[in-house]
Every structure is written in C-alpha cells, then in structure tokens.
Amino acid sequence: MTIEDFNARRLAYRRSQVVPGLAFFGLFCAAGVVTVFAAKRMDRVGLDSVGVGVLAASYTLIGLLMYYVLAWVPRRRLVQLGLTCPKCGARLNGLNPSVTASGRCGCCDTQVLESR
C-alpha cells in the first residue's frame, strides 16, 4: 500500500467512527429512559422482583451493546480497511508517526508501506 492509499484509508476510518459514537450516545440515552420508566414503576407499584429483573436485564443488554459498539466495531473496521499489521495485527492508524515516516509497523518492524 502506498502512503497516499494509507492516508486515504486512515481518513475513511476516522469518518466511519461517527456512527459508533452516535450509537454509543443513543445507548447511553436509552439507559436513562429505562431508569425513568423504572422510577415511575417503583412509585406506582413499589419495589418488586419483576421490576428489578427487567431493570437488571435491560442494563446488562445496554452495557453489552455499548461494549460492542466501542470495542468490536472499530476493530472490525480497521481490519476491513487494512489498517492492521499483517504480521502482528497491531493498529497502524495510531498517533505514532513511525508508520508514515518509515513505512514499517511500530511494533514488529514489518514493512507495511511501499518504499518511495
């Protein structure tokens, strides 16, 4: 991959991170909505096992979805764009400028960019 191709892929990766960020924010808001409904139910019915079970299940589901959005979606996108080292799997799009300067992976020193 050339340096121009590498920079274009890095830009595409940065742009693709808008959707997971919005999804995380939406899930965060969903947790607030669940809390409001739980508070209203507790005012009406009181603390019961059904309410606690639904609340625990919804928080667990929202937490797992938040983890997926923050951890797995970006990693999968990096692999799709080819922004991982083919040898060690390290991310090539970090703040370390060694990839663009030398064309080599910062972790294992494998050549990842074509020579100029």
- Assess if residue 107 is contained within a domain: no
Geometric angle at alpha carbon 28, from 22 and 34, rounded to 5°? 135
- Assess if residue 85 is contained within a domain: yes
- Assess if residue 111 is contained within a domain: no
Residue 49's pLDDT is 85
pTM, two decimals, is 0.71
Residue 18's pLDDT is 92
Averaged pLDDT score across all residues of the chain: 87
- Assess if residue 110 is contained within a domain: no
14-18, 42-46, 73-77, range with the lowest pLDDT = 42-46
- Assess if residue 114 is contained within a domain: no
pLDDT in tens, 73-89: 888 999 999 888 888 88
Cα 65 from Cα 27, distance rounded (Å)? 8
Contact status, residue 88 vs residue 105, Cβ threshold 8 Å? yes
pLDDT value at 61 more than 70:
yes
- Assess if residue 21 is contained within a domain: yes
Percent pLDDT > 70 in the chain is 96
Q: How many domains does the chain have?
A: 1
14-18, 38-42, 60-64, 95-99, range with the lowest pLDDT = 95-99
Residues 6 or more apart in contact with residue 53 via CB below 8 angstroms: none
List the domain range (segments joined by +) for residue 21: 3-102
Burial 37-54 (b: 16+ CB within 10 A, else e): ebeebeeeeeeeeebeee
- Assess if residue 87 is contained within a domain: yes
- Assess if residue 51 is contained within a domain: yes
